[in-house]
């Protein structure tokens, strides 16, 4: 690939976009100054290859320093005092006894008398001392009295909750809708079903928290966060509100032990650690323990859904209706449910969205990997399988008949062949037909989708914007830098790969750094925005550095800069060239440096405005014990052009593992009397372990979508939509009865099987 001067590029360019037989030529407006866009014809040396993670060795060896690992001389520990009641007010609070405890350096109140208490675990006060034990002893001396009020922690017990009968069916009548009611009445096959999911906690490897250190009036925070720039602003605002002089906040989050959506905010712990460090005039660490992380740091809300739909004689969905409820915490919002409406293009539907969030006196919901989608896709995809069974259709055929998306149609065929879908279904049916068989088998399929293609981060006035930095040194070393966080998804690897591709070197020759707000700004790691927002910026930065280096090499070799090629670690022409290391010697003592811009997504006719996916699962159901075991899974997923293959596959595998937890194991158990979570640890809150994880196969599809110079698209959310749904569908076909309430635990399986037998 050459390094042309960008002013030679016309504003409109024809690009080959799509995948395989679906590739088409379309026209796009390429912003002046951007790197020449890649398309379906581009040949890559590093992009899409099996490149190891940039930080893999550091993490595996323990050299990676997370917020939990940060320490300083004189570091103090901090702990938060939390409410023991679920609802009410703080009547009185006395902090003075704690201040006199041995070693206590500072005590601060987080709620004054008269303030509301919203859930068990709500923050009341915080202390810091040399040890955790000293902190906990001091908390015991804080005197708090409450005005307690009645509470509820079950969203179906809320005052405005719908009526659900003993079988789990929502019995409130549907409101009338003329056109929809006519379409349902005219359907050849009609069906109705109610579905429910429970609260799922995030369970990140690293809990929430931070280490705070003041230098004069400047604050440094080493924080476990997925929004470095967002929490920087949040902390600065909190210091102003507390009347604490703060001239600058720097966030450090080079290594983050996961987030899944719960770490967008600094939280009470972030604000408290900064105030304690100021009051104590010493560095302070405040990291939540595992129980606090389960109970006070957000969760995926519960959901209740009811669907009704109709098919015509050809198996086309002609009518669809739904009503949904979100089981939120005290904030009463964020429980929305999303469904796979790509199947409903020809269906009559209700004009008004029928959804209600139901508040409880519990920890509030926070975004969790594809908010609302795993819940809604479980219910809707299982409903589709029931609808197919009522019509005598294969579930895969029903989806093929109703899905207009060309890429996913391709995925149905590829996935069915790779998974051996038809044979597996036939073998399972033959197995289950045996008299007295104990182990029942089933196969399920479900779709996935997401829509994020990144953004430029600019304000409405065009100011600001995401950017990234590339720096080439005289010794041949290369840096790629972003201030956005890598929460384990592989951002640093993406930065290295794109820089290496542009400079014609190996990814290992690039040192990528992320997570320090002293570097160029980037988005929060949510909504699958990070890679599609920053990949075009780092590629642009590398492109600008490449132009600078090409000019120096051209002068040295006596050739035109437009003739200079970067490939295989060499720079020059076919006749004469320099190694990359020798070319860098021309730079001089000051490195070449460029800040890449994130241009707006291209105007034109993009091939696809989101990403598509599909997952298959096979399960075994023990009819004696009720235990469900996932035997194998397959995921097919596109994410624009696949930039970093290993991290991309890892994202999908992680979503599949989380889907097993959501489908079969994870459930927050609350004591209705006290309002307290009873299983806030990994002993009683079951997540998938090694024995629960089956063989998993991932097929990544690379699609040139034409949105940016590298056609990146979001990946983190999409595979989370299909995982639990595919497992639930497989259980349905194994048991011959739908299990409509997640998690699918042995008691529910045995009850369903006994009811089926009785019928």
Question: To which H or E segment does residue 79 belong?
Answer: strand 76-82
Q: Mean pLDDT in the chain?
A: 96
CATH match of 10-43+403-453+601-759 with 3.30.365.10: yes
| Count of positions (residues) in the chain | 759
pLDDT recorded at residue 3: 40
For residue 461, the model assigns a pLDDT of 86
Question: What whole-number distance in Å separates Cα of residue 704 and Cα of residue 26?
Answer: 11
Distance CA 95, CA 101 (A): 11
Is 67-82+87-150+203-296 in the same CATH topology as 10-43+403-453+601-759?
yes
What 3-state DSSP class applies to 577?
strand
By C-alpha distance, which of 410, 290, 569, 582 is closest to 22? 410
Q: Record the tokens describing residue 247, joined without a space.
A: 């001239």
Residue corresponding to tokens 């970093």: 644
Q: How far does Cα 26 stand from its chain's mean position?
A: 31
- How many Å apart are CA 176 and CA 174, to the nearest integer? 6
pLDDT at residue 628 above 70? yes
For position 452, what pLDDT does the model report? 87
Q: What is the pLDDT of residues 706-745, one digit of tens each?
A: 999 999 999 999 999 999 999 999 999 999 999 999 999 9
pLDDT of residue 9: 52
Tokens coding 79? 């702990």
pLDDT in tens, 251-271: 999 999 999 999 999 999 999
Q: How crowded is the C-beta side of 331, counted as CA atoms within 13 Å? A: 11
- Tell me how far apart the terminal alpha carbons of the chain are, to the nearest angstrom: 68
In angstroms, the CA 108 to CA 131 distance is 17
What pLDDT, on the 0 to 100 scale, is given for residue 353? 87
pTM here?
A: 0.96
Exposure class string for 363-374: b at 16+ Cβ within 10 A, else e: bbbbbbbbbbbb
pLDDT digits (tens, 9 = 90+) for 687-707: 999 999 999 999 999 999 999
DSSP string, 174-225: PPP-HHHHHHHHH-SEEEEEEEEE--EE---SS-SEEEEEEETTEEEEEE--
Measured CA to CA, the distance from residue 422 to residue 249 in angstroms comes to 58
Ramachandran region, residue 15 (left: φ > 0; alpha: ψ -120 to 50; beta: rest): beta
Q: Is 574 within 8 Å of 2 (Cβ atoms)?
A: no
Confidence grade of residue 1 (pLDDT, cut at 50, 70, 90): very low
- What does the pLDDT read at residue 10? 53
Q: Tell me the three state secondary structure of residue 78.
A: strand
| C-beta of residue 685 within 8 angstroms of C-beta of residue 224 | no
- pLDDT, residue 756, reads 86
For residue 460, how many C-alpha atoms fall within 13 Å in the half-sphere facing its CB?
Answer: 0
- Give the bridge partners for 250, in sequence order: 220
Structure tokens at 107: 């005590």
Question: 310-329: string of b/e by CB count within 10 Å (b at 16+)?
Answer: bbbeebbbbbbbbbbbbbbb
| CA-based nearest residue to 203, from 298, 117, 61 | 298
Containing 501, the helix (H) or strand (E) segment is helix 491-503
What are the residue boundaries of the structural domains of the chain, listed by start?
A: 10-43+403-453+601-759, 67-82+87-150+203-296, 152-202+298-331+342-362, 455-600
pLDDT score recorded for residue 2: 38
User: Quick one: pLDDT at residue 606?
Assistant: 83
What is the gyration radius of the CA atoms in the chain, in angstroms?
28
Nearest alpha carbon to residue 45 among 472, 506, 478: 506
343-361 mean pLDDT: 95
**Tokens describing residue 377:** 């896709």
Span 548-572, mean pLDDT?
Answer: 97
Torsion sign, CA atoms 528, 533, 534, 540: positive
The alpha-helical segments, DSSP class H, found in 511-623 are 530-557, 580-584
Which long-range contacts (C-beta less than 8 Å, at least 24 apart) are formed by 235-241? 235/266, 235/270, 235/271, 235/274, 238/266, 238/270, 238/271, 238/274, 239/274, 239/275
Angle 48-718-644 from CA coordinates, rounded to 5°: 15
Q: Quick count: other Cβ atoms within 10 Å of Cβ 720?
A: 28
pLDDT tens figures, 608-625: 889 999 999 999 999 999
Q: How far is CA 673 from the centre of its chain?
A: 34
Q: Which fold has domain 67-82+87-150+203-296?
A: Aldehyde Oxidoreductase; domain 4 (3.30.365)
Distance separating alpha carbons of residues 612 and 639, to the nearest angstrom = 8
Q: Which two tokens stand for residue 266?
A: 């600094």
What CATH code is assigned to 455-600? 3.30.365.10
Q: Does domain 152-202+298-331+342-362 have CATH number 3.30.365.10?
A: yes
Q: Label residue 660 by pLDDT band (50, 70, 90).
A: very high
Q: What is the pLDDT of residue 758?
A: 84
DSSP H or E segment with residue 620: strand 611-622
């Amino acid at each position: 690939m050459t390094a042309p001067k960008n002013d030679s590029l016309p504003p409109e360019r024809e690009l080959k976009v799509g995948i395989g037989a679906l590739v088409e030529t379309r026209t796009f407006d390429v912003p002046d100054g951007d790197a020449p866009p890649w398309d379906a014809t581009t040949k890559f040396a590093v992009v899409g290859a099996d490149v190891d993670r940039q930080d893999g060795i550091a993490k595996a060896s323990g050299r990676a320093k997370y917020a939990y690992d940060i320490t300083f001389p004189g570091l103090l520990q901090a702990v938060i005092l939390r409410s023991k009641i679920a609802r009410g007010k703080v009547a009185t609070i006395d902090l003075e006894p704690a201040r006199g405890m041995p070693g206590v350096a500072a005590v601060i109140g987080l709620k004054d008398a008269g303030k509301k208490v919203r859930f068990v675990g709500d923050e009341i006060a915080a202390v810091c001392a040399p040890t955790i034990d000293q902190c906990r002893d001091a908390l015991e001396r804080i005197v708090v009295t409450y005005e307690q009020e009645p509470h509820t922690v079950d969203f179906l017990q809320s005052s405005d909750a719908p009526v659900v009968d003993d079988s789990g069916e929502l019995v409130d009548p549907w409101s009338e809708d003329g056109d929809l009611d006519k379409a349902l009445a005219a359907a050849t096959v009609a069906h109705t079903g109610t579905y429910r999911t429970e609260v799922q906690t995030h369970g990140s490897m690293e809990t929430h928290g931070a280490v705070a250190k003041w230098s004069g009036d400047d604050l440094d925070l080493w924080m476990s966060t997925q929004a470095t720039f967002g929490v920087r602003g949040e902390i600065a605002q909190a210091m102003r509100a507390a009347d604490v002089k703060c001239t600058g906040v720097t966030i450090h989050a080079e290594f983050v032990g996961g987030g899944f959506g719960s770490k967008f905010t600094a939280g009470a712990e972030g604000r408290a650690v900064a105030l304690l460090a100021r009051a104590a005039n010493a560095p302070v660490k405040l990291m939540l323990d595992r129980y606090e992380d389960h109970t006070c740091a957000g969760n995926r809300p519960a959901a209740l859904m009811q669907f009704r739909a109709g098919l015509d004689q050809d198996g086309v969905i002609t009518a669809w209706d739904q009503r949904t409820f979100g089981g939120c915490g005290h904030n009463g919002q964020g429980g929305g449910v999303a469904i796979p409406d790509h199947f409903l293009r020809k269906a009559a539907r209700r004009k008004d969205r029928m959804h209600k969030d139901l508040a409880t006196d519990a920890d509030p919901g926070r975004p969790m990997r594809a908010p609302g989608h795993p819940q809604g896709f479980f219910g809707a995809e299982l409903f589709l399988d029931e609808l197919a069974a009522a019509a005598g259709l294969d579930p895969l055929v029903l989806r093929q008949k109703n899905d207009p998306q060309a890429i996913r149609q391709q995925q149905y065929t590829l996935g069915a062949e790779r998974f051996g879908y038809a044979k597996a279904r036939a073998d399972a049916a033959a197995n289950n037909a045996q008299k007295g068989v104990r182990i029942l088998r089933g196969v399920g399929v479900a779709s996935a989708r997401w829509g994020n293609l990144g953004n430029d981060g600019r304000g409405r006035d065009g100011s600001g914007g995401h950017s990234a930095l590339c720096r080439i040194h005289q010794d041949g070393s290369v840096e790629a830098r972003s201030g956005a966080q890598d929460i384990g998804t592989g951002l640093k690897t993406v930065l290295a790969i794109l820089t290496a591709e542009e400079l014609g070197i190996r990814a290992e020759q690039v040192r990528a750094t992320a997570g320090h707000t002293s570097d160029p700004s980037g988005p929060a790691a949510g909504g699958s925005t990070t890679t599609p927002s920053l990949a075009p910026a780092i590629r642009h930065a590398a492109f600008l550095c490449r132009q600078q280096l090409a000019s120096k090499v051209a002068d040295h070799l006596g050739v035109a800069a437009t003739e200079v090629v970067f490939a295989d670690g060499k720079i020059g022409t076919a006749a004469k060239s320099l190694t990359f290391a020798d070319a860098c010697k021309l730079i001089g003592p000051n490195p070449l440096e460029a800040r890449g811009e994130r241009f707006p997504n291209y105007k034109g006719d993009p091939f696809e405005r989101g990403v598509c996916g599909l997952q298959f699962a096979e399960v075994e159901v023990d009819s004696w014990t009720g235990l469900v075991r996932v035997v194998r899974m397959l995921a097919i997923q596109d994410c624009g052009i696949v930039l970093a293959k290993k991290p991309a596959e890892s994202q999908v595998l992680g979503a599949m593992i989380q889907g097993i937890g959501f489908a079969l194991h994870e459930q927050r158990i609350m004591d209705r009397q006290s309002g307290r979570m009873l299983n806030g640890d990994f002993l009683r809150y079951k997540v998938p372990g090694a024995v629960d994880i089956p063989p998993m196969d991932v097929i990544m599809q690379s699609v040139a979508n034409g949105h940016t110079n590298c056609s990146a698209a979001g990946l983190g959310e999409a595979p989370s939509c299909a995982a639990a749904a595919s497992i639930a569908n497989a259980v349905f076909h194994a048991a011959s009865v739908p299990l409509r309430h997640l998690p699918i635990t042995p008691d529910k399986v045995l009850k369903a099987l006994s009811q089926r037998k009785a019928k």
